[in-house]
A and B are shown apart, each in its own frame.
Chain A
Amino acid sequence: MASKFTVSHRSGWLMAGPAFGLMVAFVLLPFVFAVAFSFTNQRLISPNPTEFVGLTNYEQLLGLGLLTLDPLKDASGAVQMKDGEPEYPSLRSYTRNNPDYPQYDGKREWFSFSSGGDARTFVLASDVVFMKAVVNTFLFVIIVAPLQGGLALGLALLINQKLRGINVFRTIYFMPVVVSIVVVSILWKIIYDGNSGLLNNILSGLTFGAFQPVDWLGNTNTALGAIIGMSIWQAVGFHMVIWLSGLQTISPTLYEAAAIEGASKWQVFRYITWPGLRNTAVLVLIVITMQAFGLFAQINVMTKGGPIDSTQTIVFQAIQRGYGKQDISGGSAISVILFLIVLSVSLVQRYLTRDKEAK
């Protein structure tokens, strides 16, 4: 029995067919596979049969433990000091082959904090690298989403003017978007070079040699920041164009009315431009967030997650495990976790940015 939906929309289905088919083959199907593999011990290369292992992969990724330790005391009961800090028993004695503490076996220190007096609480994780990847990815998203969105809006306002040669500026701002991210990453790797990079040379020139060269990508304190900077530079043009399209949908009559009323520039922005951009803002925010969660190419080309995991990200870890370490099941589990994270973040964003007046 053919319903009205299937018959009268036949041409619609036909036209959507190719895209729909490709989406199923390259997005939906791999995703179903990923979910299934994440509950097995599937390897990339192996003559061994695949076995169902339940939640082992997830436990291995997400396992956490807390361990509070008192500092070592010498014979007189005074706290032993080392490099000006109280010294604590070696974590290794708890986490390796210690039958009294099976819950800590194989775990590593992620971070620690003081928990009253001299005691220190150590947060142990089964997979410290993955935990760092999660933190770095969130840090990246939290910094990039507002900054990139704001900068793109600023640029859009700048180029949304009727000036001679404004297209030249539009082209310049948009140019990084059309260049492959791999090429951009290689160029920025050279720019960030610690010895003779362009950035170090410029900074040293501007400060008349007072600036000491920094190995931007080789330093744990600057590596993630350096990648954030170049990522924003690369992608800001794209969102600028989206803002621009939003700006041009705002009726000019509103601006004329505002001019007649004698509104200031700020008032025009606050009461005409910004409300007119509401839907665009929601779109830009969600798109940037989702793209930022997928951070991979820059990391792969520029730092490979280093130095000391300071630029590990979730997607990089998924690929690293699945292909580099031939552990398809581990990589799949990471992808599923990422999917759940992105899904919940976008649901929260949708809720927060919902149209409250339309209720």
Chain B
Amino acid sequence: MTLHKTIAGAMLASTLFAGAALAQTELTMWYHGAGNETEMVLVNEMLAEFNASQSDWKVVITTFPQGAYNDSIVAGALAGTLPDIIDIDGPILPNWAWAGYLQPLAIDESLIKDYLPGPKGVWDGKLYGIGMWDAAVSLVTRQAYLDELKLRKPTLDEPWTGEEFQAALDAAKNSGKFEYALDLGMAWTGEWYPYAFSPFLQSFGGDMVDRTTYKTAEGALNGEAGMAFGNWWQGLFKGGYAQATQDGADRDSGFASGKYAFSWNGNWAALGALDAYDDVVFMPAPNFGTGSKIGAASWQLSISATSKHADGANAFINFALQPSNLARFSKGLGLIPATAAAAELTDNYKAGGPLAVFYDLSQRQGLLRPVTPGYPVAAKIFEKALADIANGADVEATLDAATDEIDADIEKNGGYGH
């Protein structure tokens, strides 16, 4: 019985070895872009080019819809079936690296020398993930609106102050021309809330956790700056400048149809805005005290800890980081190329291009969400707190409760390795 098995096993192994010698070794890859046709065409083009460019490795891709992607990774990790290469949303990378799902990358330093800071996924001093692009958010409006409301056009060096922003919202509201002065994107529940709105809090001087220790949120989220942010945030809805519950359709087309004077939206929606109006202005975030801030980091490529072909996976990631590949995704999807060299290869982001402002925003104002394994939980708590405050909950009590919840989670996890 045992002898039979051994012989069978040896035969099986020898055929496998023979197969590997003749053909490329398969690398498996999971990607979050199922359902996004343009994105998948670009990814598949890149894979085909990589597979044809050398004879050792062949990347085989499995795609998931974005909404179910993170759950699939966690399930895959618990079941021990993760692929070699996974892509991962930047802010949750520390969580997975800490949990032991990922291994550090071994890639050519020269490729990422001039990188934007956002697309580098670092945890515990090691590079675990690297993105081909970054994303940035801006305050979108039209020159015609600014002229009509007699508002100064803010610049990167001189953004609007909190008071100027308030005055702009008042002017838009009092003009009576708009359904709401500001479109914040409240319809996009989930990661949009911490990604798009926590930079406001950071500009006030607060944060989701205290970044000096990463051991508590006390004083950061519910300190004076946090309360000032909370009251300002609630005022947006109480004062009728923005709506607390928004229709998905209004988010997608409300600015283009003139419902809103200002829209807080990402570079991925910029091409649509440019189609709608010929005088679109992308303005930096207001400065509420400690400078204008926007969220940094987008999807990144990473290698699972269980991968037996790390050398192949690293070879693929090195290939993906070529400027031509960075430019490919920027051209097709409007994403911000991760280096200036790649940006020069695109019409939109090269110097003087219509979206070049986003490259500067990303470089100058981009701030990573708290780099801690506790981020996914803190983000959920933060999202709920913002939704509750927008709906009229008591600011102080809500931020206190969120702080306690974040602290309890950090404690439950033994400080998350900080």
- Name A residues whose Cβ lies closer than 8 Å to a Cβ of B: 41, 43-48, 60, 91-92, 95-96, 106, 108-109, 128, 193-196, 215, 217-218, 220, 304-309, 323-327
Contacts and interface: CB of A to CB of B under 8 A. Distances in A.
B12 interface: no
A23 to B, nearest CB: 22
Contacts of B393: 308
B413 interface: yes
Nearest to B390: A307
Contacts, number: 71
Contacts of B71: 323
A136 to B, nearest CB: 15
A89 B417 CA distance: 39
B16 to A, nearest CB: 32
A47 B100 contact: yes
A309 B247 contact: no
A175 B78 CA distance: 39
B188 to A, nearest CB: 13
A306 B95 CA distance: 27
A179 B276 CA distance: 39
B391 interface: yes
A359 B391 CA distance: 56
Interface string B366-409: 00000000001100110010011001110011001100100011
A111 to B, nearest CB: 13
A46 B388 contact: no
Contacts of B101: 45
A34 B191 CA distance: 29
B98 A47 contact: yes
A81 to B, nearest CB: 19
Nearest to A310: B391
B99 A108 contact: no
Contacts of B380: 324-325
Contact of B244 (A108, A109, A195, A307): A307
A92 to B, nearest CB: 6
Contact of A48 (B189, B387, B413): B413
Given A306-B387, A307-B387, A326-B377, A48 B414 contact: yes
B4 interface: no
Given A128-B401, A220-B391, A304-B189, A45 B95 contact: yes
Contacts of A215: 245
Given A43-B412, A47-B98, A47-B100, A326 B244 contact: no
A195 B247 contact: yes
A307 B388 CA distance: 6
Contact of B388 (A47, A91, A306): A306
B98, B250, B377: residue with the most chain A Cβ atoms closer than 10 Å: B377
A195 B250 CA distance: 10
Given A96-B400, A306-B388, A323-B71, A46 B413 contact: yes
A253 B250 CA distance: 62
B377 A325 contact: yes
A327 B101 CA distance: 18
B76 to A, nearest CB: 12
B409 A308 contact: no
B376 A326 contact: yes
Contacts of B74: 44-45
A56 B401 CA distance: 18
B114 to A, nearest CB: 34
A41 B245 contact: no
A309 B388 contact: yes
B317 interface: no
Interface in B3-51: none
Given A41-B412, A215-B245, A307-B244, 17 more contacts: A47-B98, A48-B413, A60-B408, A92-B397, A106-B404, A128-B401, A218-B244, A220-B392, A304-B189, A306-B384, A306-B388, A306-B391, A307-B387, A308-B393, A326-B377, A327-B377, A327-B412
A21 B379 CA distance: 40
Nearest to A220: B391
Nearest to B387: A306
A212 B325 CA distance: 54
A46, A60, A106, A218: residue with the most chain B Cβ atoms closer than 10 Å: A46
Contacts of B397: 91-92, 108-109
A98 B404 CA distance: 15
Interface string B55-91: 0000000000000000100100100000000000000
Contacts of A217: 245
A94 to B, nearest CB: 12
B255 interface: no
Contacts of A109: 397
A194 B376 contact: no
Enumerate the 7 nearest inter-chain pairs by beta-carbon distance, A residue then B residue, closest first: A218-B245, A307-B391, A45-B99, A308-B393, A325-B377, A308-B391, A308-B388
B77 A45 contact: yes
Contacts of A308: 388, 391-393
A305 B388 CA distance: 10
